Amino acid sequence: MSVRRPLPSVHTGLSHAARIGAQPESRAAVQEGRMFHRGDHVVTETPTLDEDLLVEPEGRRPWVEFLTSTPGRLTVLGVALIAVVIAAGVLTSAAVGARQQRVEVLRTHTEPLANAAQALYSSLSIADAAATTSFISGGESGIGAEQFTQAVGDASNALVTATNGVSSQDAESLALLSDVVRNLAEYFNLVATAQANDRAGNPVGVAYLSDASALMQDTILPLAEQLYVRQSDAVAETQTHTAQLPATAFTVTAAALVALVLAQLYVVRKSKRRFNPGLAVATLLMAGLLIWLIAGSLVSTSASEHARTEGTQPINTVARARILAQQARADETLALLQRGADTQSEIDYTRHSQALSDELTRQLDSSHGDVAADDLRDAIAARDGWLAAHRDIEIALERGDYPTAAAIAAGSGSGTSAAKFAAMDEALQNAIDRLRDDEASAVTDAYRSMSSLAVGSMIIGVSCGFAVGGGIWPRLNEYH
């Protein structure tokens, strides 16, 4: 039985290697047909992703994720520190600048105005006493007339200074000055009328002079005293404010320093480094600003307190003593002009002279104003001589010896009442001048102690801001 073998075909005649080589292409073709044939259509374009169809996971906040990360925290820390240190510099500069402005106003405006008010009162009081003395001494050519002319000139200068120094917004002080000027015109008219009648030998001149003195003592001098008290209170109030420590500047600067120290500890822990140069420089600068602020404030406060306790307060006491002395002198001369018939003037003299003695004793026993102690002792010695001369005047009037009483009251001798009063008034004026010099020196020290701090604190604050940026930025770069 014969066996038929199949004839070899073309397919079967291919080599095994050829069949193997053709398989990958066939598979690729099959896969291509599967991927790009969609029913009867052939897809020839590459598929793309539409980003508009993407949906963020619900609740996802990129900025929260950034802030909770280390770079985000460092960024927030840097911005916050820069804001804090610059704010510390700005607030310190503002506080110190305001303080310096008050001290400058006190030094150049308020205190000179208060002194002008005091000089106005004293000059007017001296003019009133001198006008009476000129009558006693026998006319316009005597010592009293010269003193009256000098006192009127001094009062005019003080009035001009006070008028120019008063702020246009200080309505009360302007009203006081206006009343003084208006009443002074009437006073000078009364004095001129009295002098004209005296030259003519009319006794009515004494009555006109008494009216002028009453106008001065009851109206003009109280107005001038109100002006002085008002300006003196302004000086004391300013010195009280400048003697206070700038609490806001201290608080902000100390808070900035603490923030810098804590920030440096945080950055050191995060960066695994022991030292951050930028933050260290900022910390040292802020610590220097705080030390500068403390030292300057203590010196300024001490100087302002010295100006108040060793200057303003003693000046007020001595000024009151001088005012009382001038009032007593006016009472003395007016009582003599009335030839002892005016008992009220003698009563007023006793009251004013006793108050004068009390003020001088109180100031000399005080622990403040020691720079004027020698002048006060001279004033007390002259006061004792003046009181003794006044007793001689009373004795002369009691026995009816008016010429002797007038010579003691208005004479030029060293033992006369006029000479003793002039010595006492000069000693009181010297005491005021010494106290003013001490006060001015203290106020200048208060100004100089913080003169550079206003600008320096601003520079330090900005420098700290740059130092903070220089310390934080390199750490942020490490995360890029």
What per-residue confidence (pLDDT) applies to 293? 93
Q: Answer whether 78's CB lies under 8 Å from 465's CB.
A: no
What per-residue confidence (pLDDT) applies to 60? 53
**Residue 345: band (very low, low, confident or very high) from pLDDT cuts 50, 70, 90:** confident
Is 444 contained in some domain?
Answer: yes
Tell me the per-residue pLDDT of 250-298, one tens digit each, with 9 for 90 and over.
999 999 999 999 988 887 777 666 778 888 899 999 999 999 999 999 9
Calpha distance 453→295 (Å, rounded): 11
Calpha distance 162→165 (Å, rounded): 5
Look at the chain and report how many structural domains it folds into: 2
**Residue 438: band (very low, low, confident or very high) from pLDDT cuts 50, 70, 90:** very high
| Whether 325 and 441 share a structural domain | yes
What per-residue confidence (pLDDT) applies to 85? 92
Is 96 contained in some domain?
Answer: no
Which residues on adjacent β-strands are paired with residue 42?
37
Q: Answer whether 332's CB lies under 8 Å from 417's CB.
A: yes
Instruction: Please report, for the domain that includes residue 159, its CATH number.
Output: 1.20.120.1730
| Whether 300 and 375 share a structural domain | yes
Among candidate residues 215, 243, 271, the one where a domain is terminated: 243
| Whether 226 and 299 share a structural domain | no
Q: Averaged over 87-95, what is the pLDDT?
A: 92
What secondary structure does DSSP assign to 228-295, as a single string? HHHHHHHHHHHHHHHTS--HHHHHHHHHHHHHHHHHHHHHHHHHT-S--HHHHHHHHHHHHHHHHHHH
What per-residue confidence (pLDDT) applies to 402? 85
Tell me the per-residue pLDDT of 353-403, one tens digit each, with 9 for 90 and over.
999 999 999 998 888 888 999 999 999 999 999 999 999 988 888 888 888
Is 461 contained in some domain?
Answer: yes
Calpha distance 306→369 (Å, rounded): 10
| Whether 126 and 267 share a structural domain | no
What type of residue is 189?
A: N
Calpha distance 63→93 (Å, rounded): 36
| Whether 236 and 288 share a structural domain | no
| Closest by CA position to 135, among listed 215, 219, 207, 218 | 207
Q: Averaged over 168-179, what is the pLDDT?
A: 86
Helix-strand-coil split of the chain, %, nearest 5: 80, 0, 15
| Whether 144 and 255 share a structural domain | no
Which residues on adjacent β-strands are paired with residue 41?
38
- What lies within 8 Å, CB to CB, of 63 at 6+ separation is none
| Whether 382 and 261 share a structural domain | yes
Among candidate residues 243, 277, 301, the one where a domain is terminated: 243
| Whether 462 and 318 share a structural domain | yes
- What lies within 8 Å, CB to CB, of 189 at 6+ separation is none
What per-residue confidence (pLDDT) applies to 144? 66
Supply the pTM of this predicted model.
0.74
Is 1 contained in some domain?
Answer: no
Full domain range(s) for residue 170: 109-243
Other Cβ atoms less than 10 A from the Cβ of 237: the count is: 13
| Whether 372 and 230 share a structural domain | no
What per-residue confidence (pLDDT) applies to 355? 92
